[in-house]
Structure 1
């Protein structure tokens, strides 16, 4: 985290090194250890509650086209019982910490905050590695721009390494 790097080691040898973007000082990436269990290509992004309230709601209030421009759908409820809602039918100014019965879900696409691939390592912090549409941020020397998850530079290089030897998988696929 402190070095803003991901290092992949195979049998004691470094096989891949990539720059990463980690959590902002007020939303730091936690230190933990876990294993990647699976990958998701072209993921949706279900916006975490903290980000919905602190980041997204102020943007929605300032810009009526914000949700449509970023391809974000609004749902009332959770899981199989959730229902898609027209954002124009919501009084956004009446919502807050104790009154936000919605889920915001960004659909896959070029603006999706998770980019084109997400590396899942289920953990207590809900932190994972993922791509990003903001690739220019990797050029910065200090890369604390995320809300806790880890954005990986050139994530398809990592995906290709992780899926090496898997039948029916190639970089092209």
Structure 2
């Protein structure tokens, strides 16, 4: 998995690139939280649920069905999020699914159960440059954790920063043309 520090980064970057007129602040924050939500499945370890189980780590909560459920909750809550139901549903679906996409880019673990409940098969993307994060704070606070953060900075933070800065620059350029 990538770290909880990294999971909201692409969502934040896309929201900043698109701007608050398109992605209202409450929707942006909800998306950032949704991007972290699938990792609540680590509670399964405490409950004795095996990693490879459908309700274990990277199982149900990392599926496209789970992302769709979060999107549906967003559609129902659209007024509180400051936008229409379709925008809320799509943004929260994509934000939640981004979590699984990042995990599928890591070089460890069992992969992501994208198609659960139709298939329990776990998937990785063909390219997986991101160092997988150790699970547990004590393991993370080590040289391995530092390597993970450097890998995430290279493969997620830097591209996210580029996306945000590029989107902001394009929006400002377009706004100055219309003045």
Per residue, is there more strand in 1 or in 2? 1
The structure, 1 or 2, with the larger RCO (C-alpha pairs under 8 Å, 6+ apart) is: 1
Per residue, is there more helix in 1 or in 2? 2
Does the TM-score normalized on the shorter chain lie above 0.5? no
Report the TM-score range of the alignment, normalised by the length of the smaller protein: under 0.3
